[in-house]
Structures are given as C-alpha cells and as structure tokens.
Amino acid sequence: MVKAIIGANWGDEGKGKITDMMAEHSDLVVRFQGGANAGHTIINDYGRFALHLLPSGVCYPHITNIIGNGVAFHIPSFLKELKSLEDSGVPTPKILVSERVQLLMPYHVLQDTYEEERLAGRAFGSTRSGIAPFYSDKYAKIGIQLNELFDEAVLRERLDKICTLKNVLFEHLYHKPALKADELFDQLMEWRKIIKPYMANTQKVVSDALKEGKTILLEGQLGSMRDPDFGIYPFTTSSHTLAGFGCVGVGVPPTELRQITAVTKAYSSAVGAGAFVVRLDGPEADELRRRGGDKGEFGATTGRPRDVGWFDAVATRYGCQVQGATDVALTCLDVLGYLDEIKVCTGYEIDGTITRDFPVTPLLNRAKPVYTSLPGWKCDLRGVTDWNQLPQAAKDYVCFLEQEIGVPIKIVSTGPARHENIFR
Ligand code: GDP
C-alpha cells in the first residue's frame, strides 16, 4: 500500500520528524517532487540532519530510498548530502534514482539567481536553487532526463539547442557570460560515471514492491499553500506539493494511495514571500519565533527567519482538503506552553465579509484574520506521550483545532525527538 506524508500549509510543518517515524515502518521511501530547495530536519542517533534532496529513509538500512521522476535532481546537492551522511557514520544507504528524473543543471541556478537580481525588490522570494527555471524547461521540453546522459548524440544536440535559447537571455537580458555546450557536456560526462550505480527504472521497482505487498511512503516537500495551482500563486513553488501528484511523480496508481497524513504545526510559520494572513509582528512574534521548533523558527535550507502567527484554521482546513488528508499530525504543541491565552484564526474578513473558505490570491492579500481565543495551559508539555497526561486546556486546544480542520488529529508531537509523541 502507498501512504503519503505532506505539508498542510506553508512547509516547515515538522514533516521531517513525522516522516522519519513513518519511514521506519515502510519498505520504500520516495521523494516525488521539488528539489534541494527546502529541507527536513531529522534528529536520530547519528545526529541532526537537514535533508534537502535525499528521502528521509536514508538512516535505515532496511529501506530503499527512491528519488522519483518528479524531482528536480541536482547532482552536486545529492553528492554533498551523501557525503554528510557518510561523515556522520550513517551506514551506506540504499538509494535509487529514477532513470526518468530530469537534471537540475548549473544554468538553472544561474538563471534563477540572475532573474532574482533583475527583479530585485519585486522578486518572488526564490531560494535561487534553480527550481523555477528547471520546471519551466521540463514542461517546455528542453530538459535533460538522467537516461539521456547515456545517449551522447542526443545529449550534444540537446545542449546546443538549450545554449542557443539560454544565451539569448544570459547575454542580452542579464548581460552575463554565455553558456558553452562543450563545457556542460564534459561536466555531464563526469557526473554520469558517479550517478550510474544509482540509476534505475524506479516505476518498475515501485510497481513490483506493490505486488509484493510492501509499504511505500511518499514524502512531500513544502505544503499545500506552495502548490502552483491551489496555493498562493505566484508565491508558490514550481512543482505540485499535493499527495495526488505523488502518483505522477513516482508512478504509482492513485487507487493505491490509502493514507494521507497532513502535517501542521500547532501555530503557523512560513518562510518566503507571499500572503500570510496570521503574520505577527513585534515582541509577540519575536517570542514565538525564538521558542518555535527546536532551534527557533529559521529556515532549514535558507536560515531565513520564518514569519510566525497563530494557527490558521482557514488555511489548514483548505490545505487538508486539497491534499485529501485522512489524518493529521500536529507538531510543536509543546512550544505554546508559555501563553496565557492562545488565538486561533477561524475566519478571514475580506471587504467586510467573514469567510471560512480559502480565497484566491488577490482576495487573500486583503484578508484580515478573525480570531477565537482559547485558554493556555501554562506548563511544559515537552516529551509528554500520553493523551491523559495533557492538561485539560491543551486537550481542548487540540480538539478545537481538530473540529476546525475537519480531519482527525492522530499524532500530537510534543518535542523534536522521535519518541516525543502522543498517538490518539
Ligand atoms: P519540515 O520541512 O516540515 O520537515 O520542517 P522542519 O523540520 O524544517 O521544521 C520543523 C522544526 O521543528 C525542526 O527544527 C524540528 O526539529 C522541530 N520540531 C518538529 N516537531 C517538533 C515538536 O513537536 N516540538 C518542537 N519543539 N519542535 C519540533
């Protein structure tokens, strides 16, 4: 059977920890979208890892980790992460990379960087890791699939075509040096040798695993609000962050998808640009940011301070709907123990009307949060594993969120460590 774990809102919901837990009971762990532009934080006996491109099962010897065809595959990032695992003493993981995955090329990173420079203050908050140019090229059919590294004639022709197009932009719009097809070709020939042992027909691997009754975990990056169709476009990412896309991004039948676990924090946090209705400012924000996560709310990949705010039930309910969530994992409940009262955004006021439906971006930009206040519990919940040990106010808070989201909260996380959970 296939399970998916995905973000219910803006990303950084604490998926890393929950994925790590769910991975342990899976046979295959698969990345199906995105690239090295975001990160998961995983804490285990080997240390604390920010994984960007590698699937979260890499610390378990029994798991086959797959980089699916839907991923933006950046070879230098892949090699760097493998090296960091090796340096920390993690046994060599089992990793397969789809022969159909496309390569995120050095010129994608350049293009992203040049474009952000050109837009300056009007930029989309890109991490400059080349994701948007990569997916643009993929759908414009000028991408390079991994298997094409082994067809030199096709590859040379493709690179010539790509350089002709890119150099118009690079030289005449950005006033930067031209790309050279020969240099790119030589670089790809070097990478080809290193990557060959990982390359596989992963669609077949996954299909065979399903026939054998194995459990496959699809691991999403970012969250619903970053989906290019259902998110806060254009402040989204460039690949679909929804569980449904997992079927395309790795090649599993939609009918096999049985469990979709949406992860959300017990408050809101977002990194990057775009509307964030519950954004807090001033000392209130500083305190929540400082106390958030396990090291404060700063991006795992970018180190940028995250925006923080109270739980946004409008965004999260919608986020769970578009994911098709069957259950929810609520993280960072322990973070809120310092508060006398805790607000939850239960509606948006747009042009004088209150709505519970998540709107399109122009309306979202005008939305103001409508809050309901709940009493805080004023004690430290870090590491609590038994629902009955929670103070009534904390139980009431979780139940209130559950009612607002409309999906059962089955896991409540009370700390960054893997055993710090309540299962309901
Ligand atoms: P992801 O991108 O969704 O995997 O999110 P990140 O892992 O980047 O961010 C979540 C942060 O919160 C990490 O620093 C985690 O270690 C931390 N974290 C996860 N769950 C909990 C929790 O229940 N309590 C606390 N205090 N921190 C948590």
Which tens digits make up the pLDDT trace of 227-237? 999 999 999 99
Percent of the chain at pLDDT > 70 equals: 98
Structural domain count of the chain: 3
The pair of three-digit structure tokens given for residue 293, joined into one six-digit string: 């996560």
Boundary (domain end) residue, out of 171, 195, 219: 195
**Ligand 1 neighbourhood includes 266 CB (under 6 angstroms):** no
Lowest mean pLDDT among 29-38, 157-166, 311-320: 29-38
User: Among all chains, which residue has been given the structure tokens 């408050």?
Assistant: 267
Q: In this structure, what CATH number is given to the domain that contains residue 139?
A: 1.10.300.10
162 and 66, same structural domain?
no
What Å distances lie between residue 388 and 18, 381, 392, 424, CA to CA? Answer: 21, 12, 9, 10
The reply to whether ligand 1 has any atom less than 6 angstroms from the CB of 11 is yes
The answer on 272 and 174 residing in a single domain is: no
Residues 6+ apart with CB under 8 A from 384: 334, 390, 414, 420, 422
DSSP state of 173: I
In whole numbers, what is the pLDDT of the chain averaged over residues?
94
Active site (annotated) includes residue 12: yes
- Which tokens go with 251? 């090649």
Least trusted range by pLDDT, from 37-46, 183-192, 286-295, 378-387: 37-46
Q: Please say whether the dihedral angle defined by the alpha carbons of residues 53, 288, 230 and 319, taken in this order, is positive or negative.
A: positive
Domain identity same for 150 and 207: no
| End-of-domain residue from the set 170, 195, 220 | 195
Verify whether ligand 1 is closer than 6 Å to residue 411 (CB atom).
no
- State pLDDT tens for residues 249-293: 999 999 999 999 999 999 999 987 899 999 999 999 999 999 998
Q: How far apart are CA 109 and CA 115, in angstroms?
A: 10
| Ligand 1 close to Cβ of residue 220 (< 6 A) | no
Same domain, 384 and 395: yes
Quote the ligand 1 centre to 122 CA distance (angstroms).
30
Instruction: Tokens for 243, please give them.
Output: 């569980």
413 Cα nearest atom in ligand 1: 23
* Ligand 1 pocket mutation, candidates 41, 264, 289, 336, criterion most atoms within 8 A of CB: 41
State the Cα torsion 116-121-126-131 to the nearest 10°: -30
Whole domain around residue 339: which residue ranges? 263-423
In Å, how far are 277, 304, 330, 345 from 263, measured between CA atoms?
A: 19, 21, 6, 18
Model confidence pLDDT, tens digit, residues 331-348: 999 999 999 999 999 999
Kindly state if the Cβ of 334 falls inside 6 Å of ligand 1.
yes
Average pLDDT, integer, range 109-133: 85
pLDDT, average across residues 363-392: 97
Domain with 378 in it: what CATH number?
Answer: 3.90.170.10
Kind and range of the H or E run holding 369: strand 368-375
Does the CB atom of residue 34 touch ligand 1 within 6 A?
no
Distance 332 CA to ligand 1 centre (A): 7
Q: What is the pLDDT of residue 181?
A: 97
Final residue in a domain of this structure, among 236, 261, 286: 261
Distance between Cα 413 and ligand 1 center (Å): 9
Catalytic member of 20, 25, 40, 327: 40
Which range, of 30-39, 134-143, 161-170, 326-335, averages the lowest pLDDT?
A: 30-39
Residues 257 and 275 in one domain: no
- Gap between the Cα atoms of 245 and 136, Å rounded: 17
Question: Which residue in this structure is represented by tokens 């970018």?
Answer: 302
CATH of the domain at 40: 3.40.440.10
- For a mutational test of ligand 1's pocket, the pick from 6, 17, 334, i.e. the residue with the most ligand atoms closer than 8 A to its C-beta, is 17
Mean pLDDT score, 363-382: 97
The answer on 369 and 235 residing in a single domain is: no
Nearest atom within ligand 1 for CA of residue 335: 26
Q: Work out the percent of the chain whose per-residue pLDDT is above 90.
A: 84
Residue 301's pLDDT is 62
Confidence category of residue 72, pLDDT binned at 50, 70, 90: very high
Distance CA(370)–CA(363), nearest Å, equals: 15
Same domain, 331 and 211: no
Q: Quick one: 413 and 302 in the same domain?
A: yes
Look up the pTM and report it.
0.94
* H-helix or E-strand spanning residue 285: helix 282-291
139 versus 123: the higher-pLDDT residue is 139
Quote the tokens at residue 264.
């959300």
How is residue 401 written in tokens? 């969120």
- Whether omega before 234 lies within 30 degrees of 0, making that bond cis, reads yes
Q: Is the CB of 41 under 6 A from ligand 1?
A: yes
Based on the fold, state whether residues 272 and 416 are members of the same structural domain.
yes
Ligand 1 binding pocket includes 323 (Cβ within 6 Å) = no
pLDDT tens digits, one per residue of 13-43: 988 889 888 998 999 999 999 998 877 777 7
User: What spacing in Å lies between the alpha carbon of 308 and ligand 1's midpoint?
Assistant: 14
pLDDT confidence tier of residue 303, bands split at 50, 70 and 90: confident
Please indicate whether residue 414, judged by its CB atom, sits closer than 6 Å to ligand 1. yes
Taking the centre of ligand 1 as the mean of its atom positions, its distance from the CA of residue 130, in whole angstroms, is 25
Asked whether residue 9 carries a pLDDT value surpassing 80, the answer given is yes
One domain for residues 79 and 202: yes
The answer to whether the beta carbons of residues 51 and 81 sit under 8 Å apart is yes
Question: Does residue 257 share a domain with residue 268?
Answer: no
Which of 42, 330, 332 to mutate for ligand 1's pocket (most ligand atoms within 8 Å of CB)?
332
183 and 82 assigned to the same domain: no
Nearest to 135 by CA among 18, 226, 23, 64: 226
Output the CA torsion sign for 85, 87, 92, 97.
positive
* Nearest alpha carbon, ligand 1 atom 28: 416
